[in-house]
Amino acid sequence: MRHLFSKIALAGAFALTTATSAFAVQLIMVDQKGCHYCEAWMDEIGPAYPKTAEGKFAPLETRDISKGAPASATFARRVNFTPTFILMADGAEIARIEGYPGEDFFWPLLTQLLEKNTSFDADAN
């Protein structure tokens, strides 16, 4: 019987950890087919993003503009053009970057949003 309780407790702890990580900080890139700025971001930033401190702290999810927010998530307002980068925490939008200003401007903007709205510390990475 004690073995059964251990399994149940372990399953409960796993479910809690999984649920918590599902609502961690995330960056959602809203894009659409034929968007040249989206393609530029994918070429210039996309391959490096998951390897950076920012990418590890706020993993990227791409989302077509026609699909709206992911299930159990809420955007603060409608997305009108692409790309729009929406910073999410606990399933809610906390900040956004509208448009892609180029590689030299994107990184500082993203770092600033992360530092201002989350516990991200660029100097610690």
Write the CATH number for 36: 3.40.30.10
Instruction: Decide if 35 is inside a domain.
Output: yes
Number of separate domains in the chain: 1
Residue 72 has a pLDDT of: 85
Instruction: Decide if 111 is inside a domain.
Output: yes
Percent of the residues in the chain that have a pLDDT greater than 70, as a whole number = 82
Q: What is the pLDDT of residues 14-34, one digit of tens each?
A: 333 333 344 499 999 999 999
pTM of model > 0.85: no
CA angle 43, 115, 82 (to 5 degrees): 35
Q: What is the pLDDT of residues 99-119, one digit of tens each?
A: 999 999 999 999 999 999 999
Residue 12 has a pLDDT of: 37
Percent of the residues in the chain that have a pLDDT greater than 90, as a whole number = 78
